[in-house]
């Protein structure tokens, strides 16, 4: 239970209402009831504040005469995210280390661990404090796992991976697989360019389910502090993803791609090798990054400025009409030639 007075301070919101009212959980607007805090995410909710039975509603602006407690925040979604964390992010009580842990020589374990059964750790690795390793997690030799990091079931970590503190890696993710580099020989047979590097995942990163992050060829593939990856993302060898950049599912980064900080990369985006994406850029869904992107740019289609892409695409949808109009003009001018698209 949190009193609204406490909660409003903790989430940096201004309370308009009863500081002694109590909330114990966060709920969606439609379902919120007594002791719930919720969030008027869309205008329709703001207009229907009076129908909410929530004990408190987070809003952007005070609504005079509202008949519920309001928590006014400049960024209501942020305030709500903080409220959810406060009310629901239970401190994990450590479960201890399963007696069936398989562990190699020279590996050290921190304290207050939660290591589930069927975990395997190689040699000369270092596991920090309060780390959680779920069943099926396999960690190679020479790895480092920072404090408070969580590896969900069946995560595979190859040798020499460096994973920071408070990192979350979801099931099935693969950290440190070989980069993809082959050179055809004189007979066309593919010769493997051995990759000798490693992966660095800095503090506070999150890696989604079934992502694969390849090791560097030489040196490291790096996720900088706070980078967040959705599921099924490919990060090629020697890529670098900047701080607090968020990347949606099924995006793929070719070897050597550099993504700046605070970028947003949407789903199914792909990049060419060695391209660079400037800080604060947005790459929209299914776009292709074939050349480097300036800081703050918004990209759509195949490396186009997004607003230009939208204009081009609007005309693309009308291309059959354009072709007809062109043919009409040609006819009037007595010009021959094939018309496109069967509109002759």
User: Within positions 148 to 177, which residues make up the interface with a copy of itself, using CB under 8 A?
Assistant: 152-154, 156, 158, 168, 170-174, 177
Select 11 or 15, whichever has its Cβ closest to a copy of itself.
11
Candidates 51-59, 60-68, 141-149, 208-216 — which segment interacts with a copy of itself by CB under 8 A? Answer: 208-216
Q: Are 127 and 111 in contact (CB under 8 A)?
A: no
Min. distance of Cβ 326 from a copy of itself in angstroms? Answer: 6
Question: Is residue 263 involved in binding a copy of itself (CB under 8 A)?
Answer: no
**Interface residue with a copy of itself, options 24, 48, 85, 344 (CB under 8 A):** 85
Decide the pairing of beta strands 162-163 and 198-201: parallel
Residues 32-71 that bind a copy of itself (CB under 8 A): none
Catalytic annotation, residues: 237
Q: Which two tokens stand for residue 98?
A: 């399963």
Q: Which 226-245 residues touch a copy of itself, going by CB under 8 A?
A: 226, 228, 230-232, 234, 236, 244
> Of the candidates 77, 92, 291, 331, which one interacts with a copy of itself according to CB under 8 A?
77
Residues 292-331 that bind a copy of itself (CB under 8 A): 302, 304, 308, 311-323, 325-326, 328-330
Q: How far is the CB of 333 from a copy of itself (least distance, A)?
A: 7
Kindly compute the dihedral angle of the four CA atoms of residues 179, 157, 170, 300, in this order, to the nearest 10 degrees. Answer: -20
Give the whole-angstrom CA distance, residue 307 versus residue 47: 32
- Is 136 among the residues that bind a copy of itself (CB under 8 A)? yes
Binding status of residue 78 toward a copy of itself by CB under 8 A: yes
> Smallest distance, Å, CB 305 to a copy of itself?
9
- The window from 14-22, 50-58, 61-69, 212-220 that contacts a copy of itself (CB under 8 A) reads 212-220
C-alpha–C-alpha distance, residues 36 and 191, integer Å: 61
Using rule CB under 8 A, residue 336 touches a copy of itself: no
Q: Which of 267, 278, 295, 306 binds a copy of itself (CB under 8 A)?
A: 267
Phi, psi of 187 (to 5 degrees): -100, 5
Question: Which tokens sit at 132?
Answer: 């959680």
Question: Kind and range of the H or E element at 23?
Answer: strand 22-23
146 binds a copy of itself (CB under 8 A): no
Q: Which of 192, 291, 296, 344 binds a copy of itself (CB under 8 A)?
A: 192
Q: Is 217 in the site for a copy of itself (CB under 8 A)?
A: yes
Asked whether 300 and 310 are in contact (CB, 8 A), the reply is: yes
Residue 64 CB, nearest approach to a copy of itself (Å): 27
Q: Are strands 174-177 and 212-214 parallel, antiparallel or unpaired?
A: parallel
Give the list of residues 6+ apart from residue 192 with CB closer than 8 angstroms, or none: 178, 181, 182
Q: Is there binding between residue 178 and a copy of itself (CB under 8 A)?
A: yes
Q: Which is nearer to a copy of itself, 21 or 169 (CB)?
A: 169
SS (H, E, C) 241-253: ECCCCEECCCCEE
Q: How many residues bind a copy of itself (CB under 8 A)?
A: 114
Between 54 and 64, name the residue whose CB sits nearer to a copy of itself: 54
**CA-based nearest residue to 180, from 277, 253, 258:** 253
What angle do helix axes 319-332 and 306-317 make, rounded to 10 degrees?
Answer: 60
Q: What is the dihedral of CA 52, 57, 60, 61, to 10 degrees?
A: 70
User: Where in 11-30 is the site for a copy of itself (CB under 8 A)?
Assistant: 26-28
Comparison of 67 and 280: residue with beta carbon closer to a copy of itself = 280
Contact positions with a copy of itself (CB under 8 A) in 88-127:
88-89, 102, 116-118, 120
Q: Which stretches does DSSP call E strand in 35-143?
A: 36-39, 56-59, 69-72, 96-97, 102-103, 108-109, 114-115, 120-121, 126-127, 132-133, 138-139
């Amino acid at each position: 239970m949190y009193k609204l007075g406490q909660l409003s301070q903790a989430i940096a919101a201004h309370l308009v209402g009863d500081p002694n009212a109590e909330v114990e959980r966060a709920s969606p607007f439609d379902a919120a009831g007594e002791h719930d805090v919720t969030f008027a995410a869309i205008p329709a909710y703001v207009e229907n504040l009076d129908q909410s039975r929530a004990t408190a509603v987070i809003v952007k602006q005070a609504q005079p005469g509202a008949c519920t407690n309001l928590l006014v925040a400049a960024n209501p979604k942020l305030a709500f995210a903080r409220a959810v964390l406060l009310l629901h992010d239970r401190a994990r009580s450590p479960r201890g280390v399963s007696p069936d842990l398989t562990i190699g020589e020279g590996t050290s374990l921190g304290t207050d661990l939660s290591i589930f059964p069927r975990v395997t750790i190689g040699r000369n690795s270092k596991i920090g404090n309060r780390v959680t390793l779920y069943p099926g997690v396999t960690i190679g030799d020479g790895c480092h796992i920072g404090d408070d990091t969580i590896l969900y079931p069946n995560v595979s970590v190859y040798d020499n991976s460096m994973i920071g503190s408070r990192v979350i890696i979801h099931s099935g993710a693969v950290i440190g697989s070989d980069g993809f580099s082959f050179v055809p020989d004189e007979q066309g047979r593919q010769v493997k360019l051995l990759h000798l590097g490693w992966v660095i995942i800095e503090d506070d990163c999150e890696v989604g389910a079934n992502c694969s992050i390849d090791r560097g060829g030489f040196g490291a593939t790096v996720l900088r502090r706070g980078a967040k990856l959705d599921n099924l993302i490919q990060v090629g060898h020697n890529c670098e993803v900047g701080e607090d950049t968020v990347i949606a599912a099924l995006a793929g980064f070719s070897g050597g791609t550099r993504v700046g900080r605070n970028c947003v990369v949407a789903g199914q985006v792909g990049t060419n090798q060695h391209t660079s994406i400037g800080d604060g850029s947005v790459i929209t869904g299914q776009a292709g990054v074939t050349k480097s992107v300036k800081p703050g740019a918004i990209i759509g289609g195949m490396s186009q400025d997004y607003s230009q892409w939208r204009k081009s695409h609007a005309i693309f949808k009308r291309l059959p009409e354009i072709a007809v109009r062109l043919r009409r003009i040609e006819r009037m001018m007595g010009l021959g030639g094939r018309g496109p698209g069967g509109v002759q």
